[in-house]
Every structure is written in structure tokens, then in C-alpha cells.
Structure 1
Amino acid sequence: MENYKKIAEEVVEAVGGKSNIQENSTCMTRLHLTLADKSKVDLDRVKKIDGVMGTVDGEELQIVFGPGKVTKIGEEVSAITGISADERKEVHNEDLEKDIDLQARAKENKAAQQAKHNGPVQVFLKHFANIFLPALPGIAGAGLIYGILNVLKLFFRVPGIAAVQLDPAIAQSWWYLTLNTAGWTLFAYLPIYIGMNAAKEYKGSPILGGMMGAMFVGNAAMPLLMKVGDPAAGINLPITGTPFDAAAGGILAAVFGGIVIAHVERWLRSWVPDTLDMILTPLCSLIITAFLAIFILQPLGAVLTKAIFALADVLLNKLGFIGAYALSALQLPLVSVGLHRAFTPIHTIMNDPNGATHGVNYLLPILQVAGAGQVGAVIALFARAKKNHKKLSEAILASVPAGILGIGEPLMYGVTLPLGKPFLTASLGAGFGGIMISLFHVGSVAQGVSGILGFLIVNEGGALGYLVGYVTAIVAAFIITYFFGWNEEKVTELFG
């Protein structure tokens, strides 16, 4: 059994000690560290720590450990630093400030090189993605429930009809209804949870953010919230003269509500007397943001949500196979620099049952098969390596099973990215898988499950199309890499 505590201690020591860590958190595969002084990080030492698959050195340091393991290591890091994933430690240390000042100039060139990954857009996307990342386990679980229910339709279908229809006796059984409800609740009340995360990310009270998120959940018991696509329901608002449609703003309206109420709350706390703070601050925060929500945030969320679906329509339908190829081919480069997180909120928006595609996300499967391209590329490398490069062959054999299951970091940081050419050929091959996904009109109903198991969360009837796209990406990347991705000199240099 691995000593996760020892690994965590080595990580903390290699990044400059616990006093240098301001934030520590984890996602599905990576440990994220926000550091006070990045010049104190010994990146080479970090890469040599047992279990480290790779690093992404940007605005924050991301250390790739893989799923499961990263959670255990993250818990040990939190125990050492005393900082939970929800906290931030402010560093006040005169010696540290002097060190930063003295070493900053020495690191100026390095910082300039990294700046292309640390611009305002990247920082904004990081915060935006952080709002959605904690929801991924729930989204994955709910999606798998729907996948299981779709499989049940095949085994308990009504006989004698062409369409796949579940046997009414099963559909009305208590256990089926329990599973169906468990999967449905996540998407029905997701705006509340997203509102809480948004407020927390921007240093506000999560409960207030959740209350703003609830403003965008339809509820027949609340007159203002009863309209969900029904023109006859709801209360007419002044100025527009139209009913407030709680669901029209989508998940984005909940995000904006959480962010705005966090800023309003912090502004009020800055001048409200301490004796009145507990009463006035939440009261005024709710009143101010509630009116902003119905007149500004909901319409803004609705416009942006429609724009996202319109852009997706252009990329996936108007551009057809060209757009699908480009999206699949660009996914691996985005993952390599950590920018793939920008898609997380988009996937969540597209999985909203009240959205234009009724909860079916036609973008995610196209991006998922990029990992298959990488699998095909390393299989080609394995075929070329034979017995002449035993170390490379061993690295591939150790990482391919994880890659097939959608965990691509070991292959990316351990094989394809260091070699260069195979990373490019993997991306080029992945594009052909994206074309097949587009042709079969495969969409996903959730996130969090990828690799060959991604067929479990696709829309009804899309499983075969997903597997065809996945295999196509493997075969295309294999062929391109076998003939154009091998560099004997580079392989010998890195793997002997």
C-alpha cells in the first residue's frame, strides 16, 4: 500500500513548505496548489516524487496523480497545511516578502513565458470552472443512473413493438421510481448547489448563494417561479410586461446570482456596523440581489445560454464534420495546459433538461474520444518499439489500461507529450473519431465518465455510435503515428 502521507510531505517540502501554500484542492486527477512564492518550487523534484504523472505550471501548480489517489494525497496535504479546500491562507512574512522581491527579477523571463497561460481570461475560467468541479461526482452519479435505466429498457422492453419502450410494470415499480428520482433531483435542483459554489468561490456566504440559485428553479407553489415554459403561468414583471421564467436563465443565471450576492455581501460588511451586521447584511444582500436577479441576471443568463447553444449548433451542425474534427483534435492540447476545465460549465449548461437540447450534450462525446486518439498513438509506439526500447514499452503497458478508461494523464505526461510527435499524431487521429461521433449524433446526458465506458452516459441509442467513434480514433491515430510519429533519436534520448 502506498504511503500517501509520505508523498504529501514530499510535495509540501518540494513546493517551499507549508508556509508557501495558500490554497490546496483537488479535482478528478490533479492536486491544485496556489503558492505565495512560485520561485521556491523545485519542479524537477516534484516530478520525481513517487506517483507523480506530470505537472502543469501555470497560475496555480497542478500536480497529476490520477483518480482516487489524488483525493487521498489531497487530504494528507490539507492535514499538513491546515487548509481545507474551502479556505485560503494569507501569508504575512517579512522574510518571504524580501525573498519574493529579490528573486522576482531572476525569474522574470520564466514568468513572462508562463504568462501566456496566466492571463485574465485563464484566471476567470479557473474561477468559473471551480464553481462546477465540486458538482462533477453528483453529475457523474446521476448520469450513470440514467445509463443503467436505459440498459433496463433493452432487457425489459414491451414485446411486439418496434420502438424501445420499458415494461409499464417495471416503470411503475418502487425501485425503478427511486432510481429515476435519485438521478432527476441533481439536475432539478442543480441551480441551488451551483449558486452556493459561486458564492463560496467569491468569498461570500454559500447559503445566500443557494437562495439566489433557488430563484431559478421552477416551483408551482411560488407564484413568481411557477412559469417554466408555460406562457399562461407566472407573474408579469414591470418594464418587460412578461412573466418571469425561472428556468430560462439556466445554470448561468444561478452562477451570476451567487457571484453578485457574494460581492454585495462583502460590500455591505465593509461598512455596516458590527452590531447590525448579522441582521442587515444578509437581509439587504438578499433584497438587492433578488431584484437584480429578475431584471438583469435572468435575462443575461438566458441570452448567454442561447448564445452557447447557437455556437454549439454552428460547430456541430453548420460546420458538420469539420467542426467535429477540430474540436476533437484540439482537446488534447487544451488538456495539456489545463484549459479543458473551461468546458466544464458548458457541459453542465448543455446537460440542463430545460435547455435547447433537453439535457443532451452533443459536445462532450466529441471531446471524449480525444483520449482514444492517444491510446491509438501509444499502441503504434509500442508496435514500433518492439524489444529495442524496453523502457518505453513498459511505460506504455503500465498506462494504456488507465487511458482506455479515460485517464489520459499517464500517457500524456509520461509518453506522448515528452516525445512531441506522437502527441500531435494522437490529436490528428482523434479528430476522425470526432467525425464519427458527429455522424451518429451521439450525445451525453451527464459528465464524469469517459474513455470506453463513456457509452454508459450517452443518449438512448447512442452507445454503438460512441463505440464506433472511439475505435475510429484509436485506429486513425495508430496509422498516423506508426508512419509519421516515430522519432528514433528522441525515443532513445528519453527512454534508452
Structure 2
Amino acid sequence: MTENSKVAREIIAAAGGEDNIESVAHCATRLRIVVSDKEQIDQDAVEDIDKVKGAFYNSGQFQVILGTGTVNRIYEEVLKSGLEGKSKSEVKKEAGTRGNMFQRAIRTFGDVFVPIIPILVATGLFMGLRGLVVQEEILGLIGLSADDISDNFLLFTEVLTDTAFIFLPALVAWSTFRVFGGTPIIGMVLGLMLVSPALPNAWDVAGGGVEPIMFAGFIPVVGYQASVLPAFIAGILGAKLEKWIRDKVPEALDLIVTPFMTLLIMITLALFVIGPVFHALEGLILDATLSVLAWPFGLSGILIGGLNQIIVITGVHHIFNMLEIQLLNELGANPYNAIVTASIAAQGGATLAVGLKTKSKKLKALALPSSFSAFLGITEPAIFGVNLRYFKPFVMGLIGGAAGGFLASVTGLEASGMAITVIPGTLLYLNEQIIMYILVNLVAIAVAFVLTWLFGYSDKQKEKIEEA
């Protein structure tokens, strides 16, 4: 028996055995197990298994943190035992029927927006690179100035940086139709209708240069470039309407009638009802967010930087994706990312202190790679594998996050994009902010590291916790 097959068998046994496991999938770092009865899970036994960096039950799944590469090999061994393997999306759908209404709603929100995030990450990187290449200091190194950059080159960069946000409603509607069981291409076309060039451009209207089209004398109709909520709500209702129409229409007419009626009804509702109402609501949410971020004395940085990783534990952090998108649309920058980066870096700093201070070879082997994972922006191994297990390191990480968040807030640090943090996140701060970004991360890491080293961890505390 190989080491990986031994680990797989031990995980299966600690998860309640094959009879208790309904399906298994994996993501980049975690084995995701849907079980019949979570009370049969022996979490302590799972966490004691070699190669396991932590485990927790969330969103209807028992998730075992194994790390990149390792999880693929363990998953293969699990399947050899005869258990059913499913894709991550299938397991999410299966687990989606579990939990209370709020938890299911947040999972659904995440399922809609997570597939869009890679495109927005790429757009943010394009913005960062554009900011880099047009800096006078950078151009001076090669003997150029801003006047030497051609208009055609700037136009090319605008294609890279603006396209995803201009057509964002199409991406949101496509993903929403997909999640709610509609035909994704119908959702895509519905979203494209919301940004049709026949409509007044939302940015031009916001700038005051163009007036919205007024229907019935009081309904303002505009395009919804970079808007999220109108496309999201239209996508939910459109997917449900499409399924209802398809059930009523004879099969011979389905190809013609279903997409025609779905698009006709939904674009009418979207332009005249959903759009105006939810665009106004979106504005209120954005105003509230900007108000919090504008709190004086770095209070917003302390609050968000200190509490962000608690929100991550609950699994509801995906709801903030919409806020980051709106910040990028309204400001052309994302101050939220800078604060969140501090909270992530701090958890890595706390874990690093545990890894360097402990004499336990197993804990050291777990903590050091987990801290590096956090510095790459993935905190689950650090949080669930180390910091939460001994609790005080997690608290010290929260304090470090608050300290770094405070510095990010008072200095006005802003990202050019979203969704990547700490080391990869440096690419979002190439527009003359890189030194301050590095300083914010170092402050967060240092505060969490020193506090954890002095007050947050000792091997004696570890023994007491494990004996309890």
C-alpha cells in the first residue's frame, strides 16, 4: 500500500466510512466530501492524518485541506476505493440543498460571480501594466516621455482594460442563467441587450453629457455598462421564465418560441422595471460602501482588515465581489483590495511564527507551507490547519490585519483590479504605489508574527489544547 492510498483510506474512515460518503470532488487545495451524516465525521482523526493540513465542514461539504498537487493524488486513491467522483460544480450543486436559506443564497451568489473573477483579475492586471508603462519614471529609463506614447497604443490598452467592464452585464447574465438552469447563450444575449449601443451609455449619462431616454415621462432608460444587480436579477427571472415557457410550449415550437418570448419579456422588464429599480439600489449600496471607506483616522481599514478573515470562515465573503466590481467601475480603483490584502498577509505572518517557534516536526511541516500559501493569497490552510486550531494565532492575525488595514486606509492605497492579493497582488499596484503596498503587507505580517511569537503560541499551549 502506497502512502497516498493509506492517507486516502484513513480520510474515508474518519469521514464516517464509505457508507457515509455520498460523493467526492476536489479543487486546487481541498478534497470536498459530501456526507450523509456530518455527526459521523471524526474531525480530530482527520487532522491527525499525515499530509492533512486542516479540515472543516462548510457549505454542505466536509473539506479536507491537502495542498496543491497532493489533493489530486489523494483524490485518485479515494476513487480507487469505489467511491463516486463528481466535478466540483456537481458537488456544490449537491451540497447546495443543505444549510439555511441565507447560506444557500450566499453559495448561489458565489457560484454566479466566481467564474467571472478570472476575467476581472486579468483586466486588473492590464490596468496595472498600463499604469506602469505610462509612468514618467519608467519611460525615462528608456529615454521616452508621455508625449512619445502614440494614441493608437493607448487605444489598444483601452481595449484590454475596458472591454470586460463594458460587457459585464452580459457576463453576469450568462453566469446567472447557467446557475439557475436556463440556457446560458440566452442569458448572454439578454446581457448584451442591456449594453446595446442603441441605448445611452451609462458612463456618459453619469458624466452629465448625455440624457437618459425617458419612457412614459418618468422611466429613465440607459445602458448598464459595468452594472451588476440589474443583470443578476434579470438573469434569475429570465432563467425561471425560460424553463416555465419551455414546459408550456410544444416541442416542435420550442426552438422558435422559447428564446423569442424569453428575450422579449425579459428585456422589456429589464429596461423598464428591473434596470431602473436595481440600478438605483446598486447606487445606494455603493454610496454606503464609499461612506465606510471614507471614515476618518483609518477606521474602515481597522474594521475591514480586522474582521475580513472572520467573514472568510463563514463562507459569505463572495458577496463582496459585487462591491469590488462597483468600486472599480465608479472610482477606476479598488481600495477594498488593499485592506483585505493586509488581513490575508497577517494570517500568513501568524502561521509563520507558529512554524518557526514550534519544536513539533509535524506542526512545522504544516505551518511553514501554509504560511507561504497565505502569502500567495490562499489562507484556508493557514486558518483551518493552524491558526484556528490554536485560536490565539488567529486572533493575533486579526490584529495584524487591522494594523495593515489601518495603514492602507490612511495612505489611500488602491488596487487597479481585484481578487489577487499579497505577492501576486503586487501586479495591481504598479502605478507608483508598489512601495506603500509592500510596506502595508510587511506591517501586517510583522505585527501578527511578533504578537503570535510573544503571546499567541507555545508548545505548552499546544499540548494543553490537544489534551483537552
Classify the TM-score, shorter chain: 0.7 to 0.9
Q: Does 1:229 align with 2:204?
A: yes
| Residue 377 of structure 1: aligned partner | 350
Mapping for residues 457-472 of structure 1, pairs under 5 Å: 457-458=428-429, 460-472=431-443
Separation of aligned partners in 1, 2:413 and 2:387:
28
| Residue 182 of structure 2: aligned partner | 204
Moved more, 244-253 or 290-299: 244-253
1:227 positional shift: 5.5
1:433 maps to amino acid:
G
**Is the Cα contact below 8 Å between 1:265 and 1:282 reproduced in 2?**
yes
Seen in structure 2, the aligned counterparts of structure 1 residues 232 and 399 have a Cα distance that, compared at 3 Å, is closer
Separation of aligned partners in 1, 2:3 and 2:186:
40
1:124 positional shift: 0.7
| Residue 401 of structure 2: aligned partner | 430
Mapping for residues 113-152 of structure 1, pairs under 5 Å: 118-152=99-133
Mapping for residues 35-184 of structure 1, pairs under 5 Å: 38=38, 43=43, 47=47, 51-61=51-61, 62-66=63-67, 81=84, 83-84=86-87, 87=90, 118-154=99-135, 157=138, 167-172=146-151, 178=156, 181-184=159-162
Q: Does 1:291 align with 2:268?
A: yes
Separation of aligned partners in 2, 1:476 and 1:214:
47
Separation of aligned partners in 2, 1:265 and 1:306:
29
Select the residue among 194, 203, 214 that pairs with 1:216. 194
**Is the Cα contact below 8 Å between 1:455 and 1:462 reproduced in 2?**
no
1:47 positional shift: 4.7
SS at match of 1:369: helix
1:451 positional shift: 1.5
Structure 2: stretches of 5+ with no match in the other structure: none
1:81-135 CA-to-partner distances (Å, cap 9, x unmatched) read: 57445557999xxxxxxxxxxxxxxxxxxxxxxx9x9332222111011111112
SS at match of 1:250: coil
**Is the Cα contact below 8 Å between 2:55 and 2:65 reproduced in 1?**
yes
Seen in structure 2, the aligned counterparts of structure 1 residues 306 and 234 have a Cα distance that, compared at 3 Å, is closer
Mapping for residues 346-425 of structure 1, pairs under 5 Å: 346-352=323-329, 355=330, 357=331, 359-382=332-355, 384-385=357-358, 388-425=359-396
Seen in structure 2, the aligned counterparts of structure 1 residues 178 and 304 have a Cα distance that, compared at 3 Å, is same
Separation of aligned partners in 2, 1:248 and 1:307:
17
Seen in structure 2, the aligned counterparts of structure 1 residues 476 and 3 have a Cα distance that, compared at 3 Å, is same
**Is the Cα contact below 8 Å between 1:328 and 1:369 reproduced in 2?**
yes
Percent of aligned pairs with the same amino acid = 26
**Is the Cα contact below 8 Å between 1:23 and 1:89 reproduced in 2?**
no
Q: Does 1:447 align with 2:418?
A: yes
**Is the Cα contact below 8 Å between 1:126 and 1:342 reproduced in 2?**
no
Select the residue among 189, 193, 203 that pairs with 2:171. 193
1:398-446 CA-to-partner distances (Å, cap 9, x unmatched) read: 3332222222222222221111111111111210100000011112222
Tell me the TM-score normalised to structure 2 length: 0.82
Q: Does 1:337 align with 2:314?
A: yes
| Residue 303 of structure 1: aligned partner | 280
**Is the Cα contact below 8 Å between 1:249 and 1:298 reproduced in 2?**
no
Separation of aligned partners in 2, 1:422 and 1:241:
56
1:132-161 CA-to-partner distances (Å, cap 9, x unmatched) read: 11122222222222222322234775659x
1:399 maps to amino acid:
S
Seen in structure 2, the aligned counterparts of structure 1 residues 233 and 16 have a Cα distance that, compared at 3 Å, is farther
1:162-197 CA-to-partner distances (Å, cap 9, x unmatched) read: xxx9645445566x7656533432222222111111
Seen in structure 2, the aligned counterparts of structure 1 residues 22 and 479 have a Cα distance that, compared at 3 Å, is closer
Select the residue among 456, 470, 473 that pairs with 2:444. 473
**Is the Cα contact below 8 Å between 1:78 and 1:84 reproduced in 2?**
no
Seen in structure 2, the aligned counterparts of structure 1 residues 158 and 446 have a Cα distance that, compared at 3 Å, is closer
**Is the Cα contact below 8 Å between 1:218 and 1:227 reproduced in 2?**
no
Separation of aligned partners in 2, 1:210 and 1:343:
23
1:392 positional shift: 3.5
Separation of aligned partners in 2, 1:251 and 1:140:
17
Seen in structure 2, the aligned counterparts of structure 1 residues 305 and 462 have a Cα distance that, compared at 3 Å, is farther
Select the residue among 318, 326, 329 that pairs with 2:303. 326
Select the residue among 246, 260, 263 that pairs with 2:223. 246
1:200 positional shift: 1.0
RMSD: 4.0
1:50 positional shift: 6.3
Seen in structure 2, the aligned counterparts of structure 1 residues 88 and 432 have a Cα distance that, compared at 3 Å, is closer
1:119 maps to amino acid:
N
**Is the Cα contact below 8 Å between 2:121 and 2:417 reproduced in 1?**
yes
1:321 positional shift: 1.6
1:473 positional shift: 1.0
Higher RCO (C-alpha under 8 Å, 6+ residues apart): 2
Seen in structure 2, the aligned counterparts of structure 1 residues 155 and 54 have a Cα distance that, compared at 3 Å, is farther
**Is the Cα contact below 8 Å between 1:188 and 1:217 reproduced in 2?**
yes
Separation of aligned partners in 1, 2:393 and 2:91:
39
**Is the Cα contact below 8 Å between 1:392 and 1:495 reproduced in 2?**
no
1:293 positional shift: 0.2
Separation of aligned partners in 2, 1:291 and 1:78:
49
1:4-30 CA-to-partner distances (Å, cap 9, x unmatched) read: 99988987885866996479574x655
Tell me the TM-score normalised to structure 1 length: 0.78
| Residue 102 of structure 1: aligned partner | none
**Is the Cα contact below 8 Å between 1:24 and 1:78 reproduced in 2?**
no
